[in-house]
Amino acid sequence: MHKEGIHKKRGSKDYKTSWNFTLLYKSDNDPQIERDMEEIERTCVTFEKKYSKKDFISTPSKLLAALKDYDGLEAIVNAAKPWWYFALRTDSNSDDTKLAARSTHYEQRLTAATNRIQFFSLKIAAIPQSKHRALVNNPVLKAYKYSLERAFRGAKHCLSEGEEQLSSLLDQTSHTMWVDGGQKLLNERTILWKGKPIPVAQGIALLADQSMKDRQILNTKINETLKAASDYSEIEINAVVNHKKVLDERRKFSKPYSSTVLSYQNDDATVENVVATVSKRFDISHRFYKLHAKLLGVKKTTTADRAAKIGSIKRKFTFPEAVALVRDSFESIDPRYAAVLDQFVANGQIDAYPKKGKRGGAYCWGAGKEHTFVLLNHVDDITSTETLAHEMGHAIHTELSNKQPARYRHYSTATAEVASTFFECIAGELIEQNLSERERVVFLHNKILGDVMTIFRQIACFNFELELHERIRKEGQLSKEVMAQLLSKHLRSYLGDAVTVTDDDGYFFAYWSHIRNFFYVYTYAFGQIVSRALFEKWKADKSYAKKIEQFLNAGGSMTPEDIFASIGINVRDPKFFLAGLKGIEKDLDRLEKTAKKVWK
């Protein structure tokens, strides 16, 4: 555990390692919070009065005027600063129940306010299909072409205005509060490790760096803790999955993942191709884990060992050192990217270290023109350094997307994961350059491990989610024991015979936050393979950095498929993802060959 406070960044001023919330508001009692919330509510009421009973779709010129007004509305409403201020405060200190209560309060008011303007998108979606093509191609509406395409694509899944409002209101109590409750329960639990209580998230982060004996002990403690928390998780998962089932049926989504794919602006066919291609090539991850066991000096491993380091890399990266390395890697692409990192560390936009009550994992949170914030749980290793690069990739994507008009600032999650993993690749290359030959074997092993975890593990999770949803839809509910067994089954599917998986390992479902963001995980595999293509193109031709900037600037102005097509990458080609997986096989060949020379 690290002491939070001020660190000195090489060649720069002191910077903070915890969030500086004054970038948003002076304090929890700042009167500006309420003023901002009232402005959001007032803006929604004004827009409703102006358009709810007015014809704004009968001519292109009327529609254009309304869309321009809606742009201004989005710029104010989508920031949602009062709500996400308290959401961030809660993530940094879930022990303070008053923060969670205020987050809920403002989320409810935000939902009520935005319900007033749902009529607008619903009325556009209700435009007869016979008029879609003419409107989309009308030169008067050129600036809104993609907005209209998205609206028309989702039109058949819209409910009535009253149902949409009710759905929004009930989402918090039927999903958000269930999930937040589980997160709070886990955040409050600690594991006694080497005489000290540590958060569950820290225990999971430390697992890979322990000796094989200690890994088994720590993994058992983690499993026991998650199993003890799974009574709640059983009820939570059954509740949120059944809630989704009801909505999917009402919205006429035939597949459990289709609503997610539509919201991320992908095509079902693209996602199904990713899932099928990766699932058919689980033999690659099986091969890796056999080699992984061999390099660890054993015949078989357990799930506790699946992310274990095969050897030590002496170099540790304190947070300031990680910042310096990541900064240098970003500058190699474009000095402007390094400048974004400088701004974040100087302003206190990164919360660096794990602590009791703080949310586990890592994320980047940005909304419009407001300051973007990054959450980490840094433990001074290379993985933490790569995570910093990953989350700052999201942050840079957010900053550049803000150049788009309000309607296109919010990029798809599918493109988000491409940006983050690309910048992680860049930092990884710089790390590798500073290692000895033996350490490079360790690093290459860890790089492939990262690919396996990001691609094969996440697709195994997607398959688990799909079976979980299908069975709950068919059977009504599942017990926590069955949920754990299902997850263990899908863990075995990608880990192979070289890894022993127990049913208790399946209780990780209680912790795995991604499965609460239904089917989100496919974006990791999609993003990793596409980012690898970007990285290879940049390595071959540094001028490709301009194309990468073009992608980062695009925000949500096109589908992910079209954004990548515009910079020479065809993700609609069924063979594209297969080629990406063959790249991992080549890395495995290199690891096997190099390890024979230097590994004993």
What letters, b where the CB count within 10 A reaches 16 and e where it falls short, cover 87-105?
bbbbbbbbeeeebbebbbe
Q: State the pLDDT at residue 471.
A: 98
Q: Domain limits of the chain?
A: 27-176, 189-312+440-516, 319-434+522-569
| DSSP label of 455 | I
Q: What is the DSSP string of 392-423?
A: HHHHHHHHHHTTS-GGG-S--HHHHHHHHHHH
Confidence of residue 78 (pLDDT cuts 50, 70, 90): confident
CATH number for the domain formed by residue range(s) 27-176:
1.20.140.70
Q: pLDDT, tens digit, for every residue of 338-364?
A: 999 999 999 999 999 998 889 888 999
What does the DSSP 8-state code read for residue 16?
A: E
Which of 159-168, 183-192, 397-406 ranks highest by mean pLDDT?
397-406
In degrees, to the nearest 5, what angle opens at C-alpha 308 toward C-alphas 460 and 420?
60
pLDDT of residue 530: 94
- List the structure tokens of 341: 């990192």
Q: What CATH number does the domain located at 189-312+440-516 have? A: 1.10.1370.20
Q: Which two tokens stand for residue 490?
A: 């899908």
Tell me the per-residue pLDDT of 463-503, one tens digit each, with 9 for 90 and over: 999 999 999 999 999 999 999 999 999 999 999 999 999 99
By percentage, how much of the chain surpasses pLDDT 90?
A: 74
Helix (H, G, I), strand (E, B) or coil at 14: strand
Helix (H, G, I), strand (E, B) or coil at 13: coil
Overall average pLDDT of the 49-60 stretch: 94
Residue 12 reports pLDDT greater than 60: no
Q: What confidence score (pLDDT) does residue 2 get? A: 41
Neighbours of 5 (CB within 10 A): 10
- Beta strands 14-16 and 190-193 are unpaired
CATH class entry, domain 319-434+522-569: mainly alpha
Task: For 166-207, list the strands marked E by DSSP.
Answer: 190-193, 196-199
Q: Is the pLDDT of residue 3 over 50?
A: no
Q: Do domains 189-312+440-516 and 319-434+522-569 have the same CATH topology?
A: yes
| Average predicted confidence (pLDDT) for the chain | 92
* Tens-digit pLDDT profile for residues 496-539: 999 999 999 999 999 998 999 999 999 999 999 999 899 989 98
pLDDT > 70: percent of the chain: 98
pLDDT of residue 345: 95
The yes-or-no verdict on residue 579 having pLDDT over 70 is yes
Determine the pLDDT at residue 440: 86
Hey, what amino acid is at 63?
Answer: L
Distance of CA 483 to the CA centre of its chain: 23
Window from 2-16, 240-254, 292-306, 347-361 with minimum mean pLDDT: 2-16
Q: What is the pLDDT of residues 434-462, one digit of tens each?
A: 778 888 888 899 899 989 999 999 999 99
Q: How confident is the model at residue 5 (pLDDT cuts 50, 70, 90)?
A: very low
User: Is residue 11 scored above 60 in pLDDT?
Assistant: no
Q: If pLDDT is split at 50, 70 and 90, which confidence band does 88 have?
A: very high
